Structure 1
């Protein structure tokens, strides 16, 4: 009889575990503390966060949630305590200044080194950090960064000119470059190149020197083998053991990991971290932090009067006159690296794709560039020049509408007293979001041809409706602080690259393939480029 006890205990345990899990998910559904049981949505999403976790891990969250809105309507329950609202008017309510809504626990999964302005959830701490950071990205301040932006755009054009000249001579390129000159064009995947460009620009601005990706034509960055070495040894003269890593690849892995981890309840996270895929994501988080730790440590060990983002952060003070600690400074520099590289490269790739896919739009943009910039030898556009290019702005905005690099609905927690959104009341603690991907496809605002890339709509449609709905950088007190710099980069990059080259797609019948972590990233864009006669 006693020999049966271990198996009895084991069988009882195996039966109790799934029973407990079912009860833990079913009881809250019927208890319905937030009064959202009647909102429609995927069946499993009503009971468990696992539905959204699986969707996020698969890399197409925005498209899946959009399909749910098309099926169920503007209010969709995408998790037990999360309602997605695909209505433009909801933006100004959920993300408004002074409404008391806070970022959800989703952002805890993005903390590395320490909390920064992006992932801080405490209102007072965020106000303190934003006071330090926001003035650095004012329209007046970002003008100072024009020389660095133009420098690296020029380096990229020199590389493409070199490859183009070699292609015309019939010289064979490397497999990685993937080009030939048989039809008078240089064929390449533009995504790696715009990644190199964005990383070198933000490396210079945030850390004082580029990563050297453009010149090396390679995804690379140097990190310490042990992060503590960089913090302790810089300034001592000792050599820091370091290793070269593929920064862009690591950044992509970190984004997918944090996105999929962020939608899971806190008590799930220690468990899923033991799974191989999530372990690799954790390693990516640590490695990416190492880039910032090493770069900031190196910079601070070498006094300089150079003016850039890091120097401005270092010299800034909060309301009490206190500077950032070294750890806080490093965390903010890491945020600058992530936000300033991936967003710019993703958007630039999408813009090139849509212009190459629509030759008539590209021709009209070429005409504006030729008329407004002239035919002088100066290759790289300036700030003063891009100010007078309205069609360029429309081309950029239309690409940001269709391919918002931040497409998902950013989650906010309803504050004390509740929140009424479009006639629907949500009690304190409910999580709400407005998906940019979906509202950028609202036919009442953008017209019936919402999937078409048509910059002309920016001159034809109701501007009040457009400004209320267009949301590439979020809005309210937690909107992207670097949006002025980001848009300036896109203006200078796109004006310069389109003035210099004409683009065609290798496979015009194939849509732009993407995968979404926190950001929605193109997977590649093979184009044929040809030098223009200007």
Structure 2
């Protein structure tokens, strides 16, 4: 018996030592064999040996900033994983993400699949073309204008809330808005604008994509209702009893958790993911993925159970047909609805917060914007700007674009797999199967394109420098066949929101040299932005 015990212990000791040694040898051998011919590409040593480096910086929430520092250290080509090269050259955009180049999305996107693959995370070219045909017409400029009334409705609700708080702030009162409170001092309303723009974005996308707002603005609370049993909700439509037991969740918080989980999981090899997802932090993220999906499951189940003539994104998805005239099935419809929720909420709120932050810190730009808004929108007491009014505001568009340059909707380099036959990018050849990407965060800070003051928020640069070169480098929504299908809607939202808020208020930072702290999942999200708001005398 003692001999058997000793043998078991010895075997465990061998495994405890042998497995790590074998893992190290495997990665060193792969590095030495250099199957993709990228060993000469500079970068962190650990990044060349293992995916752990990229997985770790992704989990820590500052991937784009770290990769940017690597480019400053090593140059335009940086190896950030054993089979992944980041290319920080503006000219690379039109090559890596071009139409017809044969490059596909990498297995990074598998980590973003929830209910089933949607237009965002589908990797198959033919399947993506089928899905995009169904979805893209929804976001044509003509179609997007139909959603203007809903956008203006919730912007009006936000301004109504802020006006009431401003009245109290002028009197020096303070209160609780459910997200850290607000206070009045110096004749201004001081609050964290991030929760409020989150409420706004979620209410807009809730109305457009799911047939009704979440009610976050009115409640001043991060809250959404999801089914406790998702399968029961999926099966409920069409039945005599389509009621399901529900629960209230903090949707914004869970959305952030989902983004961080998927980003960090996507940076790891697919073979690692089934094991890693059982670790405590990843286990919580996996739960967030499932919980968030409940919002789309419930909305689609309700819509299918109670058809309506209402025109919104969900109804357009329901009526969308592929080349063979087929409608989407229930699960596919639900997956695409979930994509609309994720893409249409976080992107708008992140960008709005960043725009307000930069304008609050640059009163020269704010004064010019106020002047343009006063000149173009007139003196009438119109609470919310219209699409017709905002589409010709050139300085405001420069203010928006400059904020999107510094705080891109998605800052990381979106990974693509080099197709058969290889690909030459900016004079460097990459063999088939190599993963390459172009980091928006870094090319948006290329001094050759933007000038030496790349870290400054200065909308004037959009009128002073080579417009064609800037537009070629500007990449907040990606380019090519996999570019963001909702760009038109996102930009219309930002124009109406910014024009309405800035026409009505003067805003300032809470402290001198205030920083916009961020954390990056798939999107780079502000962690908060306290500003002082004051009603303008002219409005």
Please tell me the TM-score bracket, short chain as reference. over 0.9
The partner residue of 1:217 within 220, 240, 247 is 220
The CA deviation at 1:388 is 1.9
Matched, 1:434 2:438: yes
Partner deviation per Cα, 1:410-447 (whole Å, 9 max, x = no partner)? 00000000000111110000000000000000000000
Q: Name the counterpart of 2:268.
A: 264
The partner residue of 2:198 within 195, 198, 201 is 195
The CA deviation at 1:177 is 5.0
- Matched residues in 1 for 2:516 and 2:10: separation? 56
Q: Which runs of 5+ in 1 are unaligned?
A: none
Matched, 1:128 2:126: no
Q: Name the counterpart of 2:90.
A: 88
Matched, 1:486 2:460: no
Matched, 1:156 2:158: yes
Q: Which runs of 5+ in 2 are unaligned?
A: none
**Does the aligned pair in 1 maintain the 2:297–2:334 contact within 8 Å?**
yes
Partner deviation per Cα, 1:209-262 (whole Å, 9 max, x = no partner)? 000000000000000011012122245335311000000000000000000000
Matched, 1:13 2:52: no
The CA deviation at 1:391 is 0.3
Equivalent positions of 1:521-532 (< 5 A) are 521-532=525-536
- Matched residues in 2 for 1:239 and 1:108: separation? 33
The partner residue of 1:278 within 279, 282, 301 is 282
The partner residue of 1:146 within 145, 148, 158 is 148
**Does the aligned pair in 1 maintain the 2:447–2:454 contact within 8 Å?**
yes
Q: Name the counterpart of 1:206.
A: 209
The partner residue of 2:322 within 298, 318, 326 is 318
Equivalent residue of 2:175, what SS? coil
Deviating more after overlay: 334-343 vs 1-10: 1-10
**Does the aligned pair in 2 maintain the 1:234–1:240 contact within 8 Å?**
no
Q: Name the counterpart of 2:231.
A: 228
Equivalent residue of 2:184, what SS? coil
The partner residue of 1:379 within 383, 389, 393 is 383
Deviating more after overlay: 65-74 vs 164-173: 164-173
Q: Name the counterpart of 1:365.
A: 369
- Count of residues in correspondence between the two structures: 534
- Matched residues in 2 for 1:242 and 1:480: separation? 32
Distance 1:387 1:121, change over 3 A: same
Partner deviation per Cα, 1:336-381 (whole Å, 9 max, x = no partner)? 0000000000000000000000011101100000010011022111
- Matched residues in 1 for 2:5 and 2:86: separation? 54
**Does the aligned pair in 1 maintain the 2:174–2:181 contact within 8 Å?**
no
- Matched residues in 1 for 2:107 and 2:205: separation? 28
- Matched residues in 2 for 1:451 and 1:519: separation? 19
The partner residue of 1:388 within 371, 388, 392 is 392
The partner residue of 1:294 within 284, 294, 298 is 298
Equivalent residue of 1:181, what SS? strand
- Matched residues in 2 for 1:303 and 1:405: separation? 34
The CA deviation at 1:172 is 3.0
- Matched residues in 1 for 2:314 and 2:6: separation? 67
**Does the aligned pair in 2 maintain the 1:202–1:341 contact within 8 Å?**
yes
**Does the aligned pair in 2 maintain the 1:40–1:75 contact within 8 Å?**
yes
Equivalent residue of 1:244, what SS? strand
- Root-mean-square deviation (CA), in Å? 1.0
Q: TM-score of the superposition, structure 2-length normalised?
A: 0.98
Partner deviation per Cα, 1:72-131 (whole Å, 9 max, x = no partner)? 000000000000000000000000000000000000000010000000000000000001
Q: Name the counterpart of 2:102.
A: 100
The CA deviation at 1:168 is 2.3
- Matched residues in 1 for 2:529 and 2:474: separation? 25
Q: Name the counterpart of 1:240.
A: 244
Equivalent residue of 2:147, what SS? helix
The CA deviation at 1:19 is 1.5
The CA deviation at 1:526 is 0.2
Partner deviation per Cα, 1:243-288 (whole Å, 9 max, x = no partner)? 0000000000000000000010011111111100000000000000
Matched, 1:181 2:187: no
